[in-house]
Every structure is written in C-alpha cells, then in structure tokens.
C-alpha cells in the first residue's frame, strides 16, 4: 500500500497532468489527419522525451497513444477515410450516420465508447499485471527465450500476408539489434569500422525511419491525391444529432462486450487494435436484433468498433510489464522509451521498482481522464484538421522527424534516419511486415541475453533444454504455430485461385 500511494503521488503532479494532456491532444490531432496516425506521433515524440523524467516521458507517450485511438475515428466518420487502420470498422456505420445528418452524434458515441473501453482495459491491467509478473518470476532464461520465440512467431504469422516474410522481418529486426558492442567481449559487432555504430542503432532512428518516414515516402511515391475538395459535414446540434445519457445507457452492453474482446486481443502479442475493432464490430452485429441496420448508420457499430480498438491500449501493457514483451508496435515503442530511460520492463520491475509501476498506472488513469475531457471540446476542431491537404501535413511531419532525431542524438543519426526510411518504404512495397521488424528489433537484446544465459547454464549439453519442460512446451507451440499459420495461408491462397 505504501508503494501504491507513493507511485500515485508521483503521477498526480501538475507537470505530469500538463504533459499527458499535451500528449493526448497531439495523439488526437495526428490520428485525425488521414495518412499520418498516432503511431507516427509516438515515434516522433520519443526523442523529445530524453530530457523528461521516466514517469513523465512514459506518461506523455501513453497519452499520445490513448489520444490516437480516439482521433482516428474523426476522419472515418466525417470523410469515410480512416485516420488510422483500427478506425476502419468505425467508418462502416460512422460515415452513413454523418451523411444522414448525425455526424456529431456519431463522434460523441465514438468518444464515450473509446474512453469507456480504455478505462475498462486499464482496470484489467491493474488487476492482472502484478499476479502475472509473480508467475513470470518463476521462469528462467530458457523459458523467457522460448516465450520471446513464441511472441515473434505469433506477430510474424498474424501480421501481413506471408508467414515466411513475417519471420524474415522478425529475424532482420533481431539482427539489427545486435549492431554495436558485444556485451561479453566488448568487441565491435556489425559496425563495419564506423565508430558511431559502436553504441548501436537507436530506437529513435529505426522507429522514426521505418514507421514514420517510410510511410511518408510510400505516400509520396505511390499515392495520388485528389484535387476534389472534401465534403463538409454539418456538426450543428439538432434533435437527431445529439448524444445523451440515454443513448450511452442503450450502448453500454455493446461497449462492455467489445471492451472485453479488445482487452483479450490486446493481451495477445501480434493481433493489435485493428483485429479487435473488426471482431468487436462483428460481435455486435451478431448480437443485434436488427443486424441488417449495420453498415447503414447503426450507432452500435460505431460504439463496438471504438470500444474494442481502444481497449487494446491498456491490455497490451499486460505482456509488456509482466514479461517485457510488447503486445503491438505502440507498446514496442514505449518499451524502447523504457530502455532509453534505463528501465527494463519485465517481472523484476514489479519487485525492484513498484513505485514506478504504480506511478505508471496513475499516469494511465490521467490519460483516460484527459482523453475524455479533451475529446469533449476538440471534435469541432478536428473537423477542420481532416480537411488540411497532405501536401501541407507531410512536410511538417518530415521536419519534426529530422529535428527530433538531431536534437536527441547527432547528425549521423539523421543519416541513419534516411537509410531506415528507404528500408521502411521497401518493406511496404515488398510486403514485409515492418510491425514484426520493429518488435524484433526491440526484443533482440532481451532475446540475446536470455539465449546467452541459457547456453552458459547448459554448459555445452543440449540435453539441458529437455530438463526445462516449460521451455520445451513454448518451443513446441512455436513450431505448431508456424505450421498451422503457413497451412492456413496456403489453403486460403488455393481457395482464392480457384
């Protein structure tokens, strides 16, 4: 109880309130602009957190992530153009509602559903993370290495269209994480005689290059913008365009069901918020007495998609804090920020720094509060944001990317940024999962550490691994997953070709 009170007192400071509020607003703005997304905002923001305290920095990034889940719904509802991938399902009923003169009602429904899903997911995180970390403490290096293998297989198999390409991307991410100084021999490794690489590749340069600039390059090279002005949606209040408590009460069972789905999906590495949104939407449609209304402006469709995709934000911290394994790319970037500030997430963190953990829980509560408050007043502003052409937005994003990396690091990192931007573009064109690459890069050092410790404990005896039944089970699960996922993809391809 003492650590809980100290952690909450650390979180509930004016500085944290201000930075988390700014983070929520930034996340909402970036996600509302089609083609940019909150993930880009999180990536760009990491270098700017170097000079913050660890709790403030993590709270700021969490705020951006939370705000981004709401902002993506704005352009989906007003323009039928998802601001982020997880908001795609929101457009199914949100845009028809807007066309019927209920845009404000759809935005309010998305807002309260998003905040509700976030709060429910955070509550589950607070209750589950600590007990799960106690179980994880019983696992040794061999078990942890096997868990990471399973996580990489799940992410590589579920993200993208090819299991093989996903695993190659994960392996490439782990390989890139090995650049720098060998932790045992202190010798140079994959530096090719370049002194600046002795300290390794920074998560900022890799993340911003592959995620943010890679997507911008893709849009500049492959996309064709339309000269037609966007349709202006009326946001004036009227009897049919108003959202009240009675509407929320009617939507609550749908919100609760979708929040449960999103919480479970978020706790499984690799599935992500997009899968949660579609599953939540499909579940609401199956449970409805009038499923034919879905896709034609059914408010339950908006609530189901938004509650599910936002519930992922809190629950993807369950594997991150308990095992040190991120549930999605946003959690992987937050893990990178943890490492930058000298914090190693995992089961030991609950034992060594419980005050920080409960401070983080407090910061997430603040983020949910600000997501609700800022969303109340920002919807009309975002209706203007979504109309800004990408020709104005993208140069500003590029400037922020380059400025952030130079301020936080050096000019050499800016060149690395360009190199990884090209790599991110090629990965998108060749259909390699950049999501799997980033998670592999972040987990690489932890995977190497556990493998090295396992080799030392085995003392050259291969039979050591068979004396660790939990590790064997996880490795067997990884093999079965690769076989099943590859088989399912192959059967799907055969059906499409028939």
* Coil/strand/helix, residue 320: helix
* Paired residues of 189 in beta bridges: 180
**For residue 228, what pLDDT is reported?**
46
The reported pLDDT for the residue numbered 429 is 86
What residues pair up with 180 in beta bridges, in sequence order? 189
Kindly give the interhelix angle for 103-136 and 245-266, rounded to the nearest 10 degrees: 40
Bridge-based pairing state of the strands 188-189 and 180-181: antiparallel
Model pLDDT, residue 281: 86
Q: Residue 181 phi/psi, 5° resolution?
A: -105, 130
Question: Within 13 A of 27's CA, how many CA atoms are on the CB side?
Answer: 30
Task: Print pLDDT tens along the chain (498 aa).
Answer: 777 888 888 889 999 999 999 999 888 887 776 656 677 788 888 888 888 888 899 899 989 888 877 777 777 787 776 656 677 788 888 888 888 888 888 888 888 998 998 899 888 888 887 777 777 667 778 888 888 888 778 777 666 667 788 888 888 988 988 888 887 777 888 888 888 888 888 777 887 788 778 877 887 776 554 444 445 455 566 667 778 888 888 889 999 999 998 888 877 765 667 778 888 888 888 888 888 888 888 888 889 988 888 888 888 888 888 777 776 777 777 877 887 788 877 777 777 788 888 898 899 999 999 988 888 877 667 666 666 666 776 777 787 777 777 766 677 878 888 888 899 889 888 888 777 888 788 788 888 888 888 888 888 777 788 888 888 888 888 888 778 777 766 665 555 455
pLDDT, position 229: 44
DSSP state letter for 326: -
As a whole number of angstroms, the distance between CA 202 and CA 413 comes to: 8
Report the predicted TM-score, pTM, of the whole model to 2 decimal places: 0.73
What is the three-class DSSP state of 180?
A: strand
Tokens of 200: 């390794």
Most distant pair of Cα atoms in the chain: their distance:
75
3-state secondary structure of 238: coil
- From residue 372, alpha-carbon distances to 66, 112, 139 in Å are 10, 7, 39
SS3 102: coil
Q: What is the pLDDT of residue 31?
A: 77
Q: What is the 3-state secondary structure (H, E, C) of 393-446?
A: HHHHHHHHHHHHHHHHCCHHHHHHHHHHHHHHHHHHHCCCCHHHHHHHHHHHHH
Range list of β-strands (E), 162-313: 180-181, 188-189
pLDDT of residue 75: 74
Backbone angles phi, psi at 317, to 5 degrees: -85, -10
Phi, psi of 189 (to 5 degrees): -140, 115
Q: Taking the C-alpha atoms of 361, 366, 369 and 370 in order, what is their torsion angle to the nearest 10 degrees? A: -140
Of the candidates 222, 177, 221, the residue with the CA atom closest to the CA atom of residue 200: 177
Helices (H), 50-102: 54-79, 88-99
At 496 the pLDDT is 46
How is residue 298 annotated by DSSP?
-
């Amino acid at each position: 109880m003492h650590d809980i009170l100290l952690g909450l007192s650390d979180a509930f400071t004016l500085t944290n309130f201000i930075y988390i509020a700014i983070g929520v607003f930034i996340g909402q703005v970036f996600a509302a602009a089609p083609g940019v997304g909150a993930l880009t905002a999180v990536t760009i923001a990491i270098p700017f957190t170097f000079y913050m305290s660890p709790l403030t920095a993590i709270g700021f990034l969490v705020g951006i992530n939370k705000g981004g889940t709401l902002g993506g719904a704005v352009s989906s509802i007003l323009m039928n153009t998802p601001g982020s991938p997880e908001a795609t399902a929101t457009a199914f009923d949100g845009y028809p509602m807007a066309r019927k003169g209920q845009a404000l009602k759809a935005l309010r429904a998305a807002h309260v559903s998003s905040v509700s899903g976030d709060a429910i997911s955070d509550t589950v995180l607070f209750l589950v993370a600590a007990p799960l970390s106690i179980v994880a403490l019983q696992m040794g290096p061999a078990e942890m290495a096997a868990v990471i293998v399973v996580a990489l297989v799940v992410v590589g198999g579920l993200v993208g269209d090819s299991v093989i390409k996903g695993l190659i991307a994960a392996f490439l991410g782990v390989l890139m994480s090995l650049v720098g100084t060998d932790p045992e021999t202190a010798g140079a490794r994959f530096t090719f005689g370049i002194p600046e690489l002795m300290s390794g590749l920074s998560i900022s340069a890799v993340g911003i290059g592959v995620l943010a600039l890679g997507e911008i390059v893709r849009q500049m090279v492959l996309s064709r913008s339309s000269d037609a002005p966007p349709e202006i949606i009326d946001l004036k209040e009227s009897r049919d365009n108003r959202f009240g408590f009675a509407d929320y009460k009617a939507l609550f069972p749908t919100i609760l069901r979708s929040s449960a789905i999103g919480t479970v999906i978020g706790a499984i590495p690799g599935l992500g918020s997009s899968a949660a949104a579609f599953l939540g939407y499909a579940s609401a449609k199956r449970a409805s007495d009038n499923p034919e209304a879905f896709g034609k402006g059914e408010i339950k469709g908006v609530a189901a998609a938004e509650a599910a995709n936002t519930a992922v934000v809190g629950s993807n911290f369950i594997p991150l804090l308990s095992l040190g394994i991120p549930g999605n790319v946003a959690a992987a970037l937050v893990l990178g920020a943890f490492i930058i500030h000298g914090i190693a997430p995992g089961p030991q963190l609950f034992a060594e720094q419980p005050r920080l953990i409960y401070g983080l829980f407090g910061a997430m509560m603040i983020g949910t509060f600000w997501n609700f408050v800022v969303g109340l007043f920002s919807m009309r502003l975002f209706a203007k944001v979504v109309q800004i052409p990408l020709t104005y937005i993208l140069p500003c994003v590029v400037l922020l990317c380059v400025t952030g990396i130079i301020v936080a690091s050096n000019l050499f990192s800016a060149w690395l940024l360009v190199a990884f931007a090209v790599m991110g573009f090629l990965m998108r064109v060749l259909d390699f999962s950049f999501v799997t690459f980033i998670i592999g890069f972040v987990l690489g050092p932890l995977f190497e550490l556990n493998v090295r410790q396992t080799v030392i404990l085995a003392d050259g005896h291969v039979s050591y691994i068979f004396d660790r039944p939990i590790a064997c089970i996880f490795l067997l699960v990884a093999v079965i997953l690769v076989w099943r996922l590859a088989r399912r993809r192959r059967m799907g391809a055969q059906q499409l070709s028939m």
